[in-house]
Structure 1
């Protein structure tokens, strides 16, 4: 069972957690349901709480206007700030905050982190399946964003975007495509703007078989971070966690949480 964390609808969580438990805010890929990341909670155990970030225009917020990518990041940052400021005023004190985003969600998480520079609780940014922001949007994304229907679906195969059963059933395809197309158009409308490097640690994760990624596309992440980011390649393609499970990512998240707790104890 999932529960909206606030009337605004920005956040959805699974089982309640103690106020002091660190939070991992998850940003989904294009067309993805952010609530799917709540299934990672067993991997996080009692050490961190998974929180799905739900933007306007989809899911339970479908009636709201869809935002630009920058508006998504602005809204998410404001909602996270309000949530964590309230937690900081509680008896248990402030709790550590982590951001994780995959693909389009990684780009949104990056822009959200930029807007949360002054939030002491923000401890780490995890970005998965996305090249350096300065390269966004890629020409492939721009070309794909102008397509419609089955032509879009066929070209989306490069990103491993739709399951085979969706391609085989027109009704299912018609149901899934509008959200994916809208998200790709959001990505295509993104315009990178230079800014001061992030002070928080940044970890990058990529699938070894991801046709969209290449080491050359990852090096420019160094320009976005005060301290060089860590880069971890894992087995699998763009959606490595679909086949391999979330263990590799969860391990990195838990290691970061434990390291922060050790520093605080010292």
Structure 2
């Protein structure tokens, strides 16, 4: 079955290599879905990366941007229903983790979700954080400098106002989307949840992760990896190791074989 339009893959057009677990990846604020496609070579033929492209970006650049996290998740859930023809895993980073979480909520009862991996994201009940709300209110140079706290922006973007104004509209829109998020309590997810976070992340610490325990039937597993908020850039080994683990059955649906592991 072809992958639906909102998803990009590095395997499109290749002959099928047997049954695959698809990993639906959701980008961070201002992030490109194409960045996930570089992970494909590290994951082998039994895993397929499918990167979610939000409206208003990449091949969907002519579409209006989503106005809220709820709208973005609703579109993602519809696309997943159309594209999922086998077992799948959700992976999201920062804003992407929040969208993946809300998408998983909308897909309760779907027979094939295998796992949710949330990277660099405080528990949804704590969002939006004060820093995100304050950053979303800023304009121009003040916004660019505030965003630099999270990392991920090349110095030439931070230092050059013209480049910043050209490249940052999507990032600014995403920050405002997160700032407008309103968490609604709901039944915990009946699928395994794994949290991946950089040891040096200035934005998300252990206290910010603990309330994730209320969002799943089984206690989430936490992996601390080297790096900051963007711990997978330039080396995604910490994340791809977790992805291979959960898709190979190490984190089975009953949670019986899980152990706490720190990926170095």
TM-score (norm 2): 0.90
Aligned twin of 1:74: 74
Map of 1:45-194 to 2, 5 A cutoff? 45-67=44-66, 68-84=68-84, 87=85, 95-194=86-185
**3-state SS in 2 of match to 1:205:** strand
Aligned twin of 1:233: 224
Map of 1:1-12 to 2, 5 A cutoff? 5-6=3-4, 9-12=5-8
User: Deviations along 1:173-208, whole A, 9 cap, x unmatched?
Assistant: 122110100000111111000000000000000100
5+ residue gaps, structure 1: 88-94
**3-state SS in 1 of match to 2:232:** helix
TM-score (norm 1): 0.89
User: Deviations along 1:11-31, whole A, 9 cap, x unmatched?
Assistant: 111123637311001100000
Q: Say whether the 8 Å CA contact 2:192–2:251 is kept in structure 1.
A: no
> Which consecutive aligned stretches of 4+ in structure 1 deviate over 3 angstroms post-superposition?
260-263
Structure with the higher helix share, 1 or 2:
1
Q: Say whether the 8 Å CA contact 1:127–1:204 is kept in structure 2.
A: yes
Q: CA deviation at 1:158?
A: 1.2
Q: CA deviation at 1:139?
A: 0.9
Q: Say whether the 8 Å CA contact 1:38–1:52 is kept in structure 2.
A: yes
User: Deviations along 1:65-108, whole A, 9 cap, x unmatched?
Assistant: 21111010011011101222xx3xxxxxxx21000000110100
Q: Say whether the 8 Å CA contact 2:3–2:83 is kept in structure 1.
A: no
Q: CA deviation at 1:262?
A: 8.5
Structure 1 residue 13 and structure 2 residue 9: aligned? Answer: yes
Q: CA deviation at 1:260?
A: 6.8
Q: CA deviation at 1:37?
A: 0.3
- How many residues align structurally? 248
Structure 1 residue 216 and structure 2 residue 207: aligned? Answer: yes
5+ residue gaps, structure 2: 254-264
Q: Say whether the 8 Å CA contact 1:199–1:225 is kept in structure 2.
A: yes
